[in-house]
């Protein structure tokens, strides 16, 4: 069964046969005579490209980049622009971004800046990409460990989501995506939050069960629709779309510092999970969020994700990262907090001492 979600400036197609949906996209865009470029990272080139290669036009061009957030930078963009130019890409060409959030972020950015913009399609292959990064038109790259500091809004022609790609994922990548699904539940869909809590309850740190993965897939539509509905109403993040940043002000700062200092940097979902605990704590302190609900959030998330100790020596740098966040104003820290589950609010000038208290609280869970 094919489900279609209207995200305003593009559609998200949840397919059960990605090849057939991809063929329909090419036909609808009338691009049979255009040059098609498929962007993958080293992992999706090996594991995912074979799934769709038979449904791509003969002679499609392959663009392959290194995997991981460290490759989402201007240097990689320059290489891709040069490859497009050398291969004769013009405004009648199209890029198919086949990969997780990193691929759709940089692929959308490269497409939307090459020759002032060529069309692109997102085929997310990770759970995180399916429920978050591929939808909504945010493209971008990192700069000096600052997440998504350079970018623009540019909307794909289509997003095609097929759970078949999830079979290639390790458990850590499932946990990455679940973090964004939890966020969608907490800001806008209490039933989604409760459904995920039920399926997470018996998983803990061990290998994720097939039953768990099946239940997560059952909730894909609800999670994607939360983001799509918000994006449709506020495509350029003037107000309500900022709610999607819950967990990300603290989470992005911790992720950036980890990327800079740790031998094994935190993945995006792991950092957002920490961010949601910290920002729920802050919500309890200054936004009236219920203490019982907060305790439940902290336990559910901390039980499901590997513990991480935030070094006190990094606290100052984390705070500076937050002040440099795209949402912040006048050197203060702006944050999305919860008044209740499903009731987010934007708060400016969150006190530094409360932020530090939240980091200390998180560290207490890791002991």
In tens, the pLDDT along 204-218 reads: 777 899 999 999 999
Confidence of residue 1 (pLDDT cuts 50, 70, 90): confident
CA dihedral sign, ordered 278, 284, 285, 291: negative
Q: Helix 210-218 crosses helix 220-233 at what angle (to 10 degrees)?
A: 30
> In the numeric block, which tokens belong to residue 218?
């059952």
Closest CA to 246 of 233, 227, 259, 265: 227
Does residue 80 contact residue 63 with C-beta atoms inside 8 Å? yes
Question: Looking at residue 140, what is its pLDDT?
Answer: 95
CA–CA gap between residue 260 and residue 337 (Å, rounded): 27
Share of the chain above pLDDT 70, in %: 95
Residue 25: pLDDT above 90? no
Q: What is the mean pLDDT of residues 17-41?
A: 75
In tens, the pLDDT along 40-89 reads: 999 999 999 998 888 888 889 999 999 999 999 999 999 999 999 999 99
Q: What is the CATH code for 3-168?
A: 3.40.50.1970
Q: What is the mean pLDDT of residues 125-143?
A: 94
What residue segments make up the domains of the chain, in order of their start?
3-168, 171-365
Question: Looking at residue 15, what is its pLDDT?
Answer: 83
Question: Looking at residue 81, what is its pLDDT?
Answer: 98
Fold assignment, 171-365: Dehydroquinate synthase-like, alpha domain (1.20.1090)
Question: Looking at residue 340, what is its pLDDT?
Answer: 98
Closest CA to 349 of 326, 329, 333, 338: 333
SS3 per residue for 309-341: CCCHHHHHHHHHHHHCCCCCCCCCCCEEEEEEC
In tens, the pLDDT along 185-235 reads: 999 999 999 999 999 987 777 789 999 999 999 999 999 999 999 999 999
In tens, the pLDDT along 301-323 reads: 999 999 999 999 999 999 999 99
Question: Looking at residue 18, what is its pLDDT?
Answer: 72
CA–CA gap between residue 255 and residue 142 (Å, rounded): 12
Does residue 235 contact residue 153 with C-beta atoms inside 8 Å? yes
Average pLDDT of every residue of the chain: 92
Residue 19: pLDDT above 70? no
Confidence of residue 30 (pLDDT cuts 50, 70, 90): low
């Amino acid at each position: 069964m094919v489900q279609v979600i209207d995200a305003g400036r593009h559609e998200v197609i949840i397919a059960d046969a990605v090849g057939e949906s991809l063929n329909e996209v090419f036909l609808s865009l009338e691009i049979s005579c255009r040059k098609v470029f498929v962007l993958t990272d080293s992992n999706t080139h090996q594991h995912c490209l074979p799934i769709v290669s038979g449904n791509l036009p003969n002679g499609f061009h392959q663009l392959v980049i290194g995997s991981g957030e460290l490759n989402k930078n201007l240097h990689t963009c320059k290489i891709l622009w040069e490859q497009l130019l050398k291969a004769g890409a013009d405004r009648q060409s199209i890029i198919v971004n086949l990969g997780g959030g990193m691929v759709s972020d940089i692929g959308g950015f490269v497409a939307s800046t090459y020759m002032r913009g060529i069309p692109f399609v997102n085929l997310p292959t990770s759970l995180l990409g399916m429920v978050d990064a591929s939808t909504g038109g945010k493209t971008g790259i990192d700069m000096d460990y600052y997440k998504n500091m350079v970018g623009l809004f540019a909307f794909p022609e289509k997003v095609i989501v097929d759970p078949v790609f999830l079979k290639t994922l390790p458990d850590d990548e499932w946990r990455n995506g679940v973090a964004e699904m939890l966020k969608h539940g907490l800001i806008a869909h209490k039933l989604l939050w409760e459904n995920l809590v039920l399926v997470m309850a018996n998983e803990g740190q061990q290998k994720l069960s097939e039953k768990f993965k099946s239940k997560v897939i059952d909730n894909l539509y609800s999670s994607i629709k939360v983001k799509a509905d918000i994006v449709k109403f506020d495509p350029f993040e003037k107000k309500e779309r900022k709610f999607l940043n819950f967990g990300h002000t603290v989470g992005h700062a911790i992720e950036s510092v980890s990327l800079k200092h740790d031998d094994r940097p935190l993945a995006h979902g792991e950092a957002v999970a920490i961010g949601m605990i910290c920002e729920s704590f802050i919500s309890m302190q200054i936004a009236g969020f219920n203490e019982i609900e907060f305790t439940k959030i902290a336990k559910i998330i901390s039980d499901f994700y590997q513990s991480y100790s935030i070094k006190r020596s990094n606290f100052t740098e984390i705070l500076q990262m937050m002040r440099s966040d795209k949402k912040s104003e006048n050197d203060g820290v702006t944050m999305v907090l919860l008044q209740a589950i499903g009731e987010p609010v934007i708060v400016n000038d969150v006190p530094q001492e409360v932020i530090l208290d939240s980091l200390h609280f998180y560290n207490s869970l890791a002991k």
